[in-house]
Structure 1
């Protein structure tokens, strides 16, 4: 069982707890003990309060915001330890953000607070709480092994839109004094400002998730391309807007060839994703109906885009993978897109970048398109991707392309899913742009 050093029951008021103001005993639940308008602060402390509010409002990642709230509170009040317990919909704690306890193993061993301690009392009472001597409290359960011993406690509830989101609490002032009315009023004011930042961060997170869900729903599920192996990945940009124009597609054509495409519609807003869907469907229909050389299909797409008053622009690589008596051949046309990467089973890697490549589609339908062809050795991997995979702020794109080739070559014999997971990790990687990847591998024996 996880420990709460300040456990006590619900059925009696906390012995040793000091209300902020006796006049608040009959206050409406949820009302703070001392509104910000009643605060009288020195210029220095006022500047620190404003700086703390600015700090917690400077980010939209919810966990970063929560951590900044605890840091700002401990610094502002001059406390040695701070924590923010986050509540779930069922009233149980779902997360605990701490400052002052630097050992992550200790925090993990302590676990989350249980439902019978002082933190839930704060939730139930919706009012600040001060405990001048934790050890003397009749409900104190002590501290887990290795946990720093804490003497005093100051806590306030965090309320977002009338609902208690969690508790913000501090322990032990660095100067050894007890928490006083000024500390409590200051922490209450900070908690009030923090609730706005929490709500903004939650809305931001909801918007990111909704945008990403919409984008992923617009991308196709690949059919069975056997005997070719295939794997795809899509990852939105790390920051809003998470709606982009990157896409991938693959299908088996009536003549037996496998059609593949990776593209990127210009723009990153609400309009880019629907335009991507239109372009993908138009290109798919043209490829399936005509079964022509890739350059001819891309030219037809160019002409079809002239029906728009303001034609959308996109870069893309469109190709056909065809089996033959001597193995597989990849024929393609490039419309201003990063070149495909061919990875041999021997660990070699090179970009398919002929001197002649076309401009993006949607610019000028009269500009000719070029066709290229490349034999695909047995067990080789063809990687098509969008520029978000290799572009980084402050870094030359050639550096990104070189890094990608080196990493992919080291995974030449890895399963395709492992290769894609390494190139497009789901966590820990920051992408300035959305990323689409399509990887295909030929059979080890071309006669199969």
Structure 2
């Protein structure tokens, strides 16, 4: 009789273990499905083709992070504006889940829509800020928006709480853009965003990026930015195209050990001897 009771207890234990194992598998499958959904949602919202202009070349790179649902907040965009200029934006939404991915889509679409009303970067960010506040969400976004005039090479930049851009010229100069900037989008009403003007010289590059590219367990933001400055400087002097530089920068994000999404948008002013 005692032997039968022990057998019954063992069978009950095995049954419980089987149930727990099945539940764990279901949770793992659900988690995997949510990650895949977040990645697919984000990738579906990012643009496929970049606008073209004689003498200029745009290139992008994006690398998602796969720590839990730590994906979904970063974006890049480039589009032709009604005045003939090219609008460039890059940004990062607070949070890294499906909600962040959806909000990212709203920010990106909002910027595009409002660019048909005004192409001035500072006013565009101010209007987008008010639009996001009207949505009543607790999320916010950092963003850099630039307007490139292909006829002059002039870049007008406005920054909303985002990390600065990196620049380099063919004569060996390079550095971090020093535009003043303003607070993130969707935080406080009535914000103004100063505009800084740059000129992209022949053979020069501008690198727009998110903090996942330059910040991680192994590097601080400042150290990561300095790495990108070095890469951009070498690329400009060597005459590398925008695509090669973008690939090098995103590769550097792996060395940073990023736990966040990483996005890069490079604007290059082709030298006369660049062969496509």
TM-score by length of 1: 0.52
Q: Which runs of 5+ in 2 are unaligned?
A: 1-9, 12-19
Tell me whether 1:375 sits opposite 2:199 in the alignment.
yes
Change beyond 3 A, Cα 1:294–1:204: same
Superposition map of 1:145-184 within 5 A: none
How many angstroms apart in 1 are the aligned matches of 2:254 and 2:76? 23
Superposition map of 1:310-329 within 5 A: 310=137, 312-324=139-151, 327-329=152-154
How many angstroms apart in 1 are the aligned matches of 2:46 and 2:135? 23
Change beyond 3 A, Cα 1:208–1:271: closer
* 1:226 positional shift: 1.9
* 1:242 positional shift: 4.0
Tell me whether 1:407 sits opposite 2:231 in the alignment.
yes
Tell me whether 1:286 sits opposite 2:114 in the alignment.
yes
* Equivalent position of 1:353 in the other structure: 178
Q: Is the 8 A contact 2:37 2:98 kept in 1?
A: no
* Equivalent position of 1:309 in the other structure: 136
* 1:425 positional shift: 3.4
* Equivalent position of 2:188 in the other structure: 364
How many angstroms apart in 2 are the aligned matches of 1:203 and 1:305? 31
How many angstroms apart in 2 are the aligned matches of 1:393 and 1:420? 22
* Equivalent position of 1:298 in the other structure: 125
Question: Which structure's CA Rg is the greater one?
Answer: 1
User: What secondary structure, in the 3-state scheme, does the structure 1 residue paired with 2:228 have?
Assistant: helix
User: What secondary structure, in the 3-state scheme, does the structure 1 residue paired with 2:49 have?
Assistant: coil
Q: Is the 8 A contact 2:38 2:72 kept in 1?
A: no
Which structure has more relative contact order (CA 8 Å, sep 6+)? It is 2
RMSD: 3.0
Spell out, residue by residue over 1:30-75, the C-alpha distance to the aligned partner (whole angstroms, 9 max, x if none).
xxxxxxx59xxxxxxxxxxxxxxxxxxxxxxxxxxxxxxxxxxxxx
Change beyond 3 A, Cα 1:238–1:411: farther
User: What secondary structure, in the 3-state scheme, does the structure 1 residue paired with 2:117 have?
Assistant: helix
Q: Is the 8 A contact 1:236 1:431 kept in 2?
A: no
How many angstroms apart in 2 are the aligned matches of 1:211 and 1:303? 26
Q: Which runs of 5+ in 1 are unaligned?
A: 1-36, 39-192
Spell out, residue by residue over 1:12-43, the C-alpha distance to the aligned partner (whole angstroms, 9 max, x if none).
xxxxxxxxxxxxxxxxxxxxxxxxx59xxxxx
Q: Which is further off, 257-266 or 356-365?
A: 356-365
* 1:319 positional shift: 1.1
How many angstroms apart in 2 are the aligned matches of 1:201 and 1:378? 52
User: What secondary structure, in the 3-state scheme, does the structure 2 residue paired with 1:251 have?
Assistant: strand
Tell me whether 1:390 sits opposite 2:217 in the alignment.
no
Q: Which is further off, 204-213 or 363-372?
A: 204-213
Q: More helix per residue: 1 or 2?
A: 2
TM-score by length of 2: 0.81
* 1:338 positional shift: 0.8
Spell out, residue by residue over 1:367-418, the C-alpha distance to the aligned partner (whole angstroms, 9 max, x if none).
3220110111112111101111011126322111112211232233223222
Tell me whether 1:433 sits opposite 2:257 in the alignment.
no
Superposition map of 1:115-134 within 5 A: none
How many angstroms apart in 2 are the aligned matches of 1:428 and 1:443? 28
Q: Is the 8 A contact 2:50 2:58 kept in 1?
A: no
User: What secondary structure, in the 3-state scheme, does the structure 2 residue paired with 1:222 have?
Assistant: coil
How many angstroms apart in 1 are the aligned matches of 2:107 and 2:177? 24
Superposition map of 1:212-291 within 5 A: 212-227=39-54, 228-291=56-119
How many angstroms apart in 2 are the aligned matches of 1:288 and 1:268? 29
Spell out, residue by residue over 1:164-200, the C-alpha distance to the aligned partner (whole angstroms, 9 max, x if none).
xxxxxxxxxxxxxxxxxxxxxxxxxxxxx99998887
User: What secondary structure, in the 3-state scheme, does the structure 2 residue paired with 1:410 have?
Assistant: helix
User: What secondary structure, in the 3-state scheme, does the structure 2 residue paired with 1:306 have?
Assistant: helix
